Amino acid sequence: MANVKLAVIFYSMGGTNYQLAKWAEEGAKEAGAEVKVLKVEELAPASIIERNEVWKKTVEATKDVPVATGDDIEWADAIIFSVPTRFGNMPSQMKQFLDIQGGLWAQGKTVNKVVSAMTSAQNPHGGQEATILSLYTSMMHWGAIIVPPGYTDPVLFGAGGNPYGTSVSVDQNGKMVEDVQAAVKHQAKRTVTVAEWVKKGNQ
């Protein structure tokens, strides 16, 4: 392992994408990477969050997770994003985080970052693929190297078989429907492996 540095950057309202991020961290560490798990800044008003018990619990559960900054993007060789879908798109919290990296982009510091993405929604056709693609569109502008899981391991079929990135459905009780832990870890290991190839090629 060529000392690959991975930033796992998530936004989570109900806790699902925080869990996906932690599984990605486990998989990446098993592959020998140095990992930071980071959240993006919450933009929703406290008055809205206070009215939603699940959201409040997630804010409390993630209160000690560092907020991602441009320095983390610069530090990382690879980035895994984990976000819920919002009307078939990434959440505004993640979009703002990407939008304020214009300074890094202008300096060419987003070029050749190895990236992959994961998502969740309340049903299998709730915009999961579109959400991942919306994130990948931004990554194309960054000049990043997108690493989707494709169908590179049988565990992906057990998780629903999304070739764009691991995606999971969440029921009305906030429980994951598909068993995606192995798929997330595989995606993280694949991302780290490709980042290692890129890093070695640049040395």
Range 5-201 has CATH code 3.40.50.360: yes
pTM: 0.96
Domain ranges of the chain: 5-201
Q: What would the pLDDT profile of 76-108 be if each residue is shown by its tens digit? A: 999 999 999 999 999 999 999 999 999 999 999
* DSSP H helices in 14-52: 16-30, 46-49
Alpha-carbon Rg for the chain in angstroms: 16
Q: What would the pLDDT profile of 159-190 be if each residue is shown by its tens digit? A: 999 999 999 999 988 899 999 999 999 999 99
Instruction: Compute how many other C-beta atoms are within 10 angstroms of the C-beta atom of residue 46.
Output: 10
Report the percentage of the chain scoring pLDDT > 70: 98
